[in-house]
Chains A and B, each alone.
Chain A
């Protein structure tokens, strides 16, 4: 994982995205520094689960407000950049600290399961890379060979589209920190 993050950071930096590169290399260095410890698990009891039931509605309202507000900023503007970075750092910090809500370890994933899911994501990554390399250059989208970013450009050009995808991104982040 450290190598993947470092390489991704290196190529993101070479592609002219210094902020992304700093993030990816920074996380790689953080992991390299030796934080690969199992998180301390406090298994959920029924009593512990109940108080969490009130949180989703609050999270939902905050996510909607954030998505509508930040979606109003232009893509790649500094206000949008700051809003995403601040929230991303909060997510990373929540991942770094020992979570009190983490569930029990589901146990090892079987070989078939690991291969099946890895195949889906590797196929997606390779197809994305293929289309990226078929573009006129790395920063110019192609209609004939669109990457996911190119396909999403028309949606992200609209305030409603940006807000909708920001909301999905937030919900995904919340889902992940609750793992």
Chain B
């Protein structure tokens, strides 16, 4: 396995762990909440809302803007 393949595989593994957490959270048999619930909690304060939206804006700028 090349370095490239290993790098991509680890990205995939991290995404898979996130997916498993999300699926587990929806079964209700774990203390882990869905990601949407976590985001809702974070965004319950104005600083949380602005911080998360700034992250979203930065993401768009990073990939598309100067």
A140 to B60, CA, bound (A): 20
Interface of B, helix, strand, loop or mixed by DSSP: helix
Partner of A131, one of B7, B58, B62, B66: B7
A145 contact set on B, CB distance < 8 A: 3-4, 7
B64 in contact with A162 (CB, 8 Å)? yes
A173 contact set on B, CB distance < 8 A: 53, 56, 60
B3 in contact with A144 (CB, 8 Å)? yes
Interface size on B, residues (CB 8 A): 46
B66 in contact with A151 (CB, 8 Å)? no
Chain B's nearest CB lies how many Å from the CB of A21? 10
Which of B14, B21, B41, B50 has most A Cβ within 10 Å? Answer: B50
Interface size on A, residues (CB 8 A): 71
Say yes or no for A24: interface residue by CB 8 A criterion.
yes
Q: Which stretch (A43-51, A57-65, A80-88) binds chain B?
A: A80-88
A112 contact set on B, CB distance < 8 A: 30-32
Chain A's nearest CB lies how many Å from the CB of B48? 8
Partner of A92, one of B30, B40, B45, B50: B50
Closest residue of B by beta carbon distance from A89? B57
Closest residue of A by beta carbon distance from B51? A1
B51 in contact with A31 (CB, 8 Å)? yes
Which of B10, B14, B47, B62 has most A Cβ within 10 Å? Answer: B47
Say yes or no for A124: interface residue by CB 8 A criterion.
yes
Chain A's nearest CB lies how many Å from the CB of B62? 7
A116 to B20, CA, bound (A): 11
